[in-house]
Amino acid sequence: MNKIYAGMAAVSASTGVALAQTANTPVDGGYGMLPAASKLAEEVHFFHNGILMPIITVISLFVLALLLFVMVRFNAKANPVPRKFSHNMMIEVIWTFVPIVILLGIALPSFELLFKEDVIPDGKQMVSEADGASNVFAFDNDFPASRMAAAGRHVQVFHGSAAGVVGLTPGKDYTLEGLGTPKISVALKANPAAGDKIVVRMGRSLVGRKNKEIALAPSMTLKAIGYQWGWTYAYPDFGDFEFSSNMAPAEATTPELYRFEVDNRVVVPVGETIRVITTARDVIHAWALPNMAIKVDAVPGRINETWFKADREGVYYGQCSEICGVRHSAMPIAVEVVSRPAFEAWVNQKRVEADMEPMFSAVASIAEPSRLADAAAAANAQ
In the predicted structure, residue 21 carries a pLDDT above the cut 50: no
Q: Is 272 inside a domain boundary?
A: yes
Residue 118 burial class via C-beta count within 10 angstroms: exposed 0-12, middle 13-18, buried 19 and up: exposed
Q: Give residue-wise pLDDT tens across range 156-215.
A: 999 998 888 899 999 999 999 999 999 999 999 989 999 999 999 999 999 988 888 999
Residue type, 202: M
Q: Is residue 363 part of a domain?
A: no
Q: Which domain holds residue 197?
A: 124-212
- Do both 225 and 293 map to the same domain? yes
State the pLDDT at residue 210.
81
Task: With respect to residue 25, please indicate whether it lies within any of the assigned structural domains.
Answer: no
Both 235 and 316 in one domain: the answer is yes
pTM over 0.75: yes
Same-domain pairing of 103 and 129:
no
Would you place residue 83 in the very low, low, confident or very high pLDDT band (cuts 50, 70, 90)? confident
**Residue 290: other Cβ atoms inside 10 A:** 23
Question: Per-residue pLDDT for 149 more than 70?
Answer: yes
What pLDDT, on the 0 to 100 scale, is given for residue 238? 95
Q: What is the pLDDT of residue 84?
A: 75
Which burial class, exposed, middle or buried, applies to 237 when counting CB atoms under 10 A from its CB (0-12, 13-18, 19+)?
middle
Q: What is the mean pLDDT of residues 329-356?
A: 94
User: Is a pLDDT exceeding 70 seen at residue 125?
Assistant: yes
For residue 352, being part of any structural domain is answered with no
Say what the pLDDT of residue 168 is.
93
Are residue 334 and residue 225 in the same domain, yes or no?
A: yes
Closest CA to 345 of 6, 20, 8, 21: 8
Sequence-ordered list of residues with C-beta below 8 angstroms from that of 3, at least 6 positions apart, any chain: 160, 161, 162, 163, 164, 165
Q: Which of 212, 236, 254 is the last residue of a domain?
A: 212
Q: Does any domain span residue 371?
A: no
Same domain, 332 and 254: yes
Residue 67 in this model has a pLDDT that exceeds 90? yes
The answer, yes or no, to whether residue 2 has pLDDT greater than 80, is no
User: Per-residue pLDDT tens for 274-300?
Assistant: 999 999 999 999 999 999 999 999 999
- Please check whether residue 11 lies inside any domain of the structure: no
Q: For residues 146 and 133, give the distance between their C-alpha atoms in angstroms, rounded to a whole number.
A: 35
CA distances from 138 to 155, 193, 255, 372 (A): 13, 17, 56, 20
Residue 143 is predicted with a pLDDT of 94
Q: What is the model's pLDDT at position 24?
A: 77
Number of domains in the chain: 3
Same structural domain for residues 142 and 50?
no
